[in-house]
Amino acid sequence: MPFCKKFYSLGLGCAKNQVDSERAAAELLSADFKIAKSPKESDVILINTCGFIESAKEESIDAILSILKNKKAKQKAIIYGCLSQRYGKELAKEIPEADFWLGNYHTGMLLETLGFESQAKSCKANPPRRIRNFEYPHHAYLKIAEGCNRACSFCAIPAIRGKQVSQSIENLVNEAKQLEENGVQELSLIAQDLSSYGTDLYKKASLQPLLEALLKNTKIPWLRLMYLYPEHITDGLLNLMAKEPRICKYADIPIQHASDKMLKLMRRKYTAADLRALLHKMRESVPGITLRTTVLLGFPGETHSDFEELMNLAEEIRFEHLGGFIWSPEEGTSAMKLKEEQVAVETARLRLDALIERQEEISAEKNEALVGKTLDVILDSIAEESEFHFYARTQGNALETDNIVRILEGSGNIGEIRKAKIVDAEAHELDAVLLD
Ligand code: SF4
């Protein structure tokens, strides 16, 4: 095929997909492609899709249709990622405008598909540096493992992404060093199940040694832990979080539910008592820790009393951040075979709304308690066309996930970590002034 010069890339879905989109862009850049600002200006269109739940699938399909409706015959469109891995064959028949339906991303696959065999080979031998996040160049995700060895009954991820494959500590340290050289100030560690990192490669959970290696070999000021399954969270890991100021006092720990019956049906490997003990221990061992969680409502068999158990736990733990989903039947998951009574979507919605309503109050109270305190904040972006100077975040808030800090006074540069005094608070925003 003729050499194509410009590519347009669209990444959908989670942070793990974002890392793949950045790698995919780096792959084409390494073969002298240039970035096109719009699909119209491109020779190659890349769409990295998400197929996690029904709404994500719909979003991916809508995006594909909307971008490809104006595609010209000489342009090449490559669809890859979860949705394509799962339904590529079927979708290829329904959306013939796309030229290639590839699965999960691996280095070299795009160049190979486009006929650049030798560049693909050198790319595989020496994976190119990931490009920087254009919007937030001071932040990067570090994907420490792919896939998942668990079998949660509602989740299609193991079927889509396969068994867990951890990256070696050495490779991850090298990637982190490159990102540091590129100006990254905050590194968010991600995987499907961060706490099981290394159980495949090193035969034991190895998040703590990985963190120690990252601390020793880089000077990146903020390291953040996302998606910790509530197992293998060791005392050693918590002690390290407590004593090391460069590890954000933050843990994203999706609990899904808090009724033993539901946890069993969901095939989670812990009980409500285990959860309580762990979450209290995290609060005690890591003073000031921010806890984020995600819950799943309306799973088959859920009764009002199961829901109340979840409400009670949320009330007791007082998570700083809590998000929720309503269960939808996903092909290839064992939950599809459950004989338990189905929960009407309206009932699930009412339960989720009630939980979120209470959470809003807790979040507001938690934020109000910060007023008058001096905290470190990272400056994320200039607040254009507003009374504020910057949008920033504290260690307790993950990028594009949690609350923002609106900086009312002070000057600085994007990516700087500065002292700020919190002067006002709402449920999802803090107002602050820079101090130094
Ligand atoms: S831990 Fe459970 S929910 Fe998370 S990716 Fe693995 S199977 Fe899915």
Gap between the Cα atoms of 54 and 198, Å rounded: 31
Which of 17, 144, 149, 155 has the most ligand 1 atoms within 8 A of CB, as the residue to mutate?
Answer: 155
**For position 436, what pLDDT does the model report?**
73
**For position 238, what pLDDT does the model report?**
98
Long-range (24+ apart) CB contacts under 8 A made by 367-373 are 367/403, 367/425, 367/426, 367/427, 367/428, 367/429, 367/430, 368/425, 370/394, 370/422, 370/425, 370/430, 371/422, 371/423, 371/424, 371/425, 372/421, 372/422, 372/423, 373/421, 373/422
pLDDT digits (tens, 9 = 90+) for 298-331: 999 999 999 999 999 999 999 999 999 999 998 8
CATH superfamily of 139-368: tm_1862 like domain (3.80.30.20)
Ligand 1 atom closest to 161 (CA): 5
Distance 193 CA to ligand 1 centre (A): 7
- The CATH architecture assigned to 6-125 reads 3-Layer(aba) Sandwich (3.40)
The mean pLDDT of 195-207, rounded to a whole number, is 97
- Decide whether 139-368 matches 374-434 in CATH topology: no
The mean pLDDT of 247-257, rounded to a whole number, is 98
- Among protein residues, the one whose CA lies closest to atom 4 of ligand 1: 192
**For position 125, what pLDDT does the model report?**
87
**For position 56, what pLDDT does the model report?**
81
pLDDT digits (tens, 9 = 90+) for 378-434: 999 999 888 889 999 999 999 999 999 999 999 999 999 999 999 999 999 999 999
Q: Is the pLDDT of residue 134 over 80?
A: no
- Among protein residues, the one whose CA lies closest to atom 2 of ligand 1: 152
Ligand 1 atom closest to 156 (CA): 8
Q: Which segments of 185-234 does DSSP mark as H helices, in order?
A: 207-217
Ligand 1 atom closest to 155 (CA): 8
Which of 154, 190, 193 has the most ligand 1 atoms within 8 A of CB, as the residue to mutate?
Answer: 193
Distance 55 CA to ligand 1 centre (A): 18
Cβ proximity of 104 and 50 under 8 Å: no
Confidence of residue 52 (pLDDT cuts 50, 70, 90): confident
Gap between the Cα atoms of 96 and 99, Å rounded: 7
374-434 belongs to CATH 2.40.50.140: yes
What percent of the chain has a predicted confidence (pLDDT) above 90? 82
Whole-angstrom CA distances from 156 to 14, 52, 215, 332, 334 are 14, 7, 34, 6, 9
Q: Is the pLDDT of residue 140 over 80?
A: yes
Domain locations along the chain? 6-125, 139-368, 374-434
Distance 328 CA to ligand 1 centre (A): 15
Distance 420 CA to ligand 1 centre (A): 37
Q: Is the pLDDT of residue 184 over 60?
A: yes
Cβ proximity of 152 and 268 under 8 Å: yes
Q: Is the pLDDT of residue 1 over 70?
A: no
Distance 180 CA to ligand 1 centre (A): 30
Q: Is the pLDDT of residue 2 over 80?
A: no
**For position 3, what pLDDT does the model report?**
55
Pairing of strands 139-143, 222-225: unpaired
pLDDT mean across residues, the chain: 94
Residues with CB under 6 A from ligand 1: 148, 150, 152, 155, 157-158, 192-193, 229
Distance 27 CA to ligand 1 centre (A): 29
Distance 355 CA to ligand 1 centre (A): 23
Distance 338 CA to ligand 1 centre (A): 18
